[in-house]
């Protein structure tokens, strides 16, 4: 078996995690907003589900997604098991509860009079939500960062749903595990350092946007 160049594995890791983060952010921020602001029926139950989702081990999420996507599973016809798209679905399932929970807390921590003040100033529902997101932009960015961190660092679901197939679904974390199991610690450490650098670069980028916003608001 020819070893895949590391940059390809790295690119796949970044693609899977960033795509999952974007999708999970869209889902999580929307759901978190609905839970924080709208009087949804079953809100308490949904909040409990979200909080549980934040604490579920990623390998369990991976197992559930794998069972759903398995050839004989309920979504088997979609042929997503052992594919990058399947891995993205698993990572979305992992990151969404986290982003939802942080969004909900961020919006609930805004001054309580702010939504009704904005409504009384004539904001419609869309304008109101948009403005509240802008007000909570720093914790919302933190939510996305946490979601990305969760996605890029997890190994259980990537193995169960992706299968660690060389040249197709192997990502940095599964490559590290494989190298360690083969006793190739040096390679594993190199992969680990590269993964660390990737996480550092993405988070630094988001943190710099976040801090710029914080400094402006303070001055």
Partner 1 sequence: MGAELSLRAVRHRRGGRDVLSIDRLDVTAGERLAVLGPNGAGKTTLLRLLAAVEPPTAGRITVDALDTASGGVDLLRRTAYVTQRAGLLSTSALRNVELPLQWRKVPRRQRRQLAMDALDRLRVAHLADRPARALSGGEQQRVSLARALALDPEVLLLDEPAAGLDAQSRTVFFADLDRALGDRAITVVQVSHRADEALHFADRVIVLLDGRIHQLGTPDELNRRPVDTDVAALVGYENLIDAEVGPDGTVLVGEAPTGLTTDHPPGPVTVAAFASGVRLLPADWPGLPVQVTRVSPGPGHRTVAVAGVVSLLAHVPLGAGTLRAGLAVRATFDPALSTILPRP
In the complex, the residues that contact partner 1 under the rule CB under 8 A are 111, 113-114, 116-117, 119-124, 127, 131, 134-135, 216-219
Least Å from the CB of residue 30 to partner 1: 21
Residues 96/26, Cβ–Cβ less than 8 Å: no
Residue 2 or 120 having the CB closest to partner 1 = 120
Which residue in this structure is represented by tokens 């709208």? 38
Least Å from the CB of residue 21 to partner 1: 25
Least Å from the CB of residue 28 to partner 1: 22
Sequential DSSP letters for 86-133: HHHHHHHHHHHHHHHHHHHHHHHTS-TTHHHHHHHTT--HHHHHHHHH
Least Å from the CB of residue 41 to partner 1: 19
Nearest CA among 50, 2, 37, 16 for reference residue 157: 16
Nearest CA among 207, 204, 21, 18 for reference residue 99: 21
Residue 135 or 154 having the CB closest to partner 1 = 135
């Amino acid at each position: 078996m020819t070893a895949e160049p590391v940059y390809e594995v790295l690119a796949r890791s970044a693609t899977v995690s960033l795509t999952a983060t974007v999708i999970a952010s869209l889902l999580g921020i929307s759901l978190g907003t609905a839970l924080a602001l709208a009087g949804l029926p079953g809100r308490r139950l949904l909040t409990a589900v979200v909080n549980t989702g934040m604490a579920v081990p990623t390998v369990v999420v991976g197992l559930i997604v794998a069972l759903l996507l398995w050839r004989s599973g309920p979504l088997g016809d979609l042929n997503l098991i052992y594919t990058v798209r399947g891995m993205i679905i698993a990572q979305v399932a992992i990151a969404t509860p986290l982003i939802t929970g942080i969004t909900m807390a961020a919006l609930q921590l805004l001054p309580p009079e702010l939504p009704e003040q904005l409504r009384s100033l004539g904001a419609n529902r869309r304008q109101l939500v948009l403005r509240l997101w802008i007000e909570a932009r720093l914790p919302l960015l933190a939510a996305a960062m946490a979601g990305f961190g969760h996605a890029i660092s997890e190994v259980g679901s990537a193995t169960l749903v992706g299968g660690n197939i060389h040249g197709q679904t192997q990502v940095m974390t599964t490559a590290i595990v494989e190298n360690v199991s083969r006793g190739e610690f040096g390679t594993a450490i190199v992969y680990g350092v590269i993964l660390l650098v990737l996480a550092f670069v993405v988070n630094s980028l988001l943190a710099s946007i976040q801090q710029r916003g914080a400094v402006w608001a303070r001055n």
